[in-house]
Structure 1
């Protein structure tokens, strides 16, 4: 897992944010966060995806019933062109960071029944809600938190 952090006085990255040399790598930015009071690992941060996706297997493990889903008529197209229908959508609290640099926002997730190496995909929608920026080079996600200036 890689770090989630915040920077006071504006959001940016510097060489000080590098923990290890990043000469050559193409790792995905994968984080852990709290969703609806559950610690969820393997959250892919992907700014190319417009929606926030919750994979059904992880959804079930959290004990959330399908009855809590709001029906939605949305199809998603996967990498190989396959179409996956969303089972529904649900709005849950997503918390990033740790005290005192922690932020919680309500995020609308599309729940899909599809196999994935990840439990959740955090897309552009939640990145926008959190005013977050990501750096695959630094392997970090930065966002403003209460009490910290966002320039």
Structure 2
């Protein structure tokens, strides 16, 4: 696997989504949770999506229950929560694992392509973000505490390429 376009994770509804459908777009891929201290970042992610979507940004949310069991809901509950509380319209995917033996193949790829501090490949917490270039290669990883608005300069740069 050489780009994110080689993967087909399941949508929140359970059907596979061929990420090659996003070819030529800048992608912001985020592992999310509904009961996390960083959950209000959904608002900022949605704002970024609305601001840059017409120029080629897609935000992809991947719910994960591995950190403090902060995403206990079903797919329907997650979707309803995100829509009701944050007006989320960007694509959400089925709940996944991002670390360990059960880690989703997409996340194995992302972590290897953009290791964290000190070269670690594990995800530290919810709302770790990966920015992906239009060619499907990983540009950069961002920490959970990095606010979505703080990615604007990098997003602008990649949209202009």
TM over 0.5: no
**TM-score, with normalisation over the residues of structure 1?**
0.25
**TM-score, with normalisation over the residues of structure 2?**
0.24
Q: Which has the higher strand share?
A: 1
* Higher RCO structure (Cα 8 Å, ≥6 apart): 1
